A and B are shown apart, each in its own frame.
Chain A
Amino acid sequence: MNRRNFLKGGLAGGALTFLGKGKEAAASVAPPPPVSDITMLKEGKYPRGMGVLYDLSRCIGCRTCEAICNKEHHLPEPDLPFDDTSVFERVRRTHEGARTVVNRYKIKGQENPVFRKVQCNHCAEPGCLSSCFVNAYTKTAIGAVTYNEKVCVGCRTCMIACPFYVPAYRYSSAFNPIIIKCTMCYNTRLVKGEPPACVAACPRDAMNFGKREDLIYMAHQRIRINPGKYVEHVYGEKEVGGTAWMYLSPVPFEQVGFDTTLGEKPIFSYVKEFLSIVPMVLTIWPALFSGFYLLATRKESQKIKQQDIGEEGKK
């Protein structure tokens, strides 16, 4: 065997064993390894992971999910106990002490209020991830968007870039300020093959955990079987490139605090235009300005040359 064939054989063999291993791994254990989303972003792929479908019409505002999340992630005790309904008086957002909050919305012409839970939506192409310059965020293959506090510098660009105002920041801490965000319970539960804590704890079955594709099917099915009960839209199916956490609502989404103006383009696509000029500047500028320099200095060097010639002529 000559050397070239040997190399070829080696490479092909390597690839084969690699593929084989991949299959094996997929078949045996449940949680797939985390993949950084950079390659996927580049290829424009939407990872097919798991997700949660949250049905606002089923939620009764008991805040069990808030309580269990607080316990699961050892967050500080809130000022008011979790069964205190006075918190509903104003609309809250996630903060240092809460990865998730439930809000109450009074709807005009309707007796019963509608409740809505807020947490990270685990976007397919997360704005937080693409804006983070130390790559603290990871879109895992299972669908959860996780955050690594060990590398976070605290620039808070992710908070600028998240279209859903999700990441909160521990401003009160001088020595360990970090981002607080729902991780879909990735480390504590998903890796063990369990559903997120809040989903499992919900007494009204308001949330379903499953394959994202199945959930989308299920959502449309629910809309179809219950005519008039839901707005005919699955929020999160397409918003900003699709999110893993999706919503069904009995009232128009903007009445319960959803931003319905976000569009379907992922956040990253707005930045691409600038990023695409970077290599252009990097390659064209040096040539262009060296050219200017040569042009600008040619006169001088010509002068010097002529002087030289003149002097030589004298000799």
Chain B
Amino acid sequence: MNKFVAEGFKPITSPYKEDGKTKWTIQEKLLLGLSTPDYITQLIRNPLNWVFALIFSVGMPLVALRFIKGLSFVTHSSYDYPWGLFLGWGLFVMVPLSASGFMLGTTVEVFGRKDFKPIERLALLNGLLGYLFAVVFLQVDLGQPWRLIYPMVVSLGPQAVLFLVAWHVATYLSVQVAELVPAFAELFDMPRTKKFIKSMVIGLTISGIILSTLHQGALGALFTYAPGKLHPLWYSSTFMWFHFFCSAIFGGLSMLIVVSTICKYFMAWRCDDNFLNNIDKLTMSLAKGSAMALITYLIIKIIGVAHDNDWIYLVSGWGQWFLIELLVGTIVPLVLFTVAIRTNNVGLARFAALIAVFGIALNRLNTVLIAFNWQLYQEIPHPREIGIVITIYTLYIATYRFCLARMPLLYTWKDK
């Protein structure tokens, strides 16, 4: 794509072609304004597509085999470890990293910080796709995926935490779809739909906050069912939901810094000046938000240990692992963010965000896989399970890229 842009090509940003009269057809919009042969050339030229093709050619048959042969063919999930990498990565890591949607929605729409507008839609997409693929991962992991709708209509277990998660993720997904409708409507010329959604944006945003608070917290609360199974340092029946919620805040913001950085460097052709000129400044603001959430998280993490009086565990090997997680995943990014803010160093803030994202992943995988059943043994995921996780994550990245290239997320649609 960079080559075409260098040759003077301009991707679509408005409904009309250069002459200012003829409209682009939908097909042309999907091809970004390139002719079909040019589009294909561009596809083949991009090495990333080759990597994707390779991953899919190996991974897709694996996914098919999972549904033909059952879970035991692709996972090590055992009677003692009912949850493996599918949920550990796909649900428990993906969901907090997708908290950006409600964070930025709140900032822009509720707190009226219009200066965050250039990245609001990117944040919404990050949220939507993250949740969508969390559901895809869930579908791969569920024993009977065709019954996904059961907790909604067939047989209700409202006393269960997972019931909350199911309902909230489902409703929140529709909220996120609605929030992105304006971008979609602009691209495909549907002004009425856009207006309709715009009229309820505040309602949508506030319901987004409620649903997110609850299901981000509920994911943590799921483990309060397992006192004794989860190591006491990671377990806290009182604070666990708050740990998960609070870490989702910096998780979402840091993930937004990471993806916006990727956009800036690898998809600059699709970003407009509004995005490119503001992104460094906004990154610093996001960094401030992350730092604030990080320090809160650090404090309640320590309170959690104090509340249950778990100090004694800190001297064991588990304690060291816990401290490493806290150091690498929380304290290091916190310090880096602080230095970055002091010295106004955007690069450092981006690096800190990357570490924070890594820290979230580490915490969730610790909770689900490593510190779980700490008195029994540690589960090592099956190679095929790892393969499927990589495949679906690749599909996620590919979808992400597909949307970014077309919808007015990184650029502003010129209506007139």
Contact = CB atoms under 8 A, between A and B. Distances in A.
A binds B: yes
Interface of A: 38, 41-42, 93-95, 127, 130-136, 148, 151-157, 159-161, 163, 165, 167-174, 177-178, 259, 261-263, 267-268, 270-271, 273-275, 277-278, 281-282, 285-286, 289-290, 292-293, 296-297, 300
Contact of B154 (A151, A168, A285): A151
Contacts of A155: 142-143, 162
26 contacts: A93-B79, A131-B162, A132-B157, A133-B160, A135-B155, A135-B157, A152-B143, A153-B147, A153-B150, A154-B142, A154-B144, A159-B79, A160-B82, A160-B83, A160-B223, A163-B229, A174-B69, A177-B70, A262-B228, A263-B227, A273-B237, A274-B218, A285-B209, A289-B205, A293-B202, A300-B112
A163 B228 CA distance: 8
A165 B79 contact: yes
Interface string B193-222: 000000000100110011001100110111
Given A157-B222, A157-B225, A293-B109, A171 B210 contact: no
B79 A160 contact: no
B206 A172 contact: no
A114 B21 CA distance: 89
A95 to B, nearest CB: 6
Nearest to A149: B144
B225 A156 contact: no
Interface of B: 67-72, 75, 77, 79-80, 82-83, 106, 109-113, 142-145, 147-148, 150-151, 154-166, 202, 205-206, 209-210, 213-214, 217-218, 220-229, 237-238, 240-241
Nearest to B226: A160
Contact of B163 (A133, A154, A168, A292): A133
- A-B pairs, top 9 by smallest CB distance, nearest first, are A154-B143, A296-B112, A156-B82, A135-B157, A171-B72, A274-B221, A161-B225, A174-B70, A177-B143
Contact of B210 (A133, A160, A281, A292): A281
B237 to A, nearest CB: 4
B106 to A, nearest CB: 7
A261 B161 CA distance: 24
Contacts of A152: 143-144, 147
B166 A133 contact: yes
Contact of A156 (B112, B143, B147, B229): B143
Contacts of A160: 82-83, 222-223, 225-226, 229
Given A153-B148, A159-B79, A38 B159 contact: yes
A160 B379 CA distance: 14
B213 A153 contact: no
A289 B80 contact: no
Contacts of B164: 278
Contacts of B147: 134, 151-154
A281 B228 CA distance: 28
A159 B77 CA distance: 11
Nearest to A157: B162
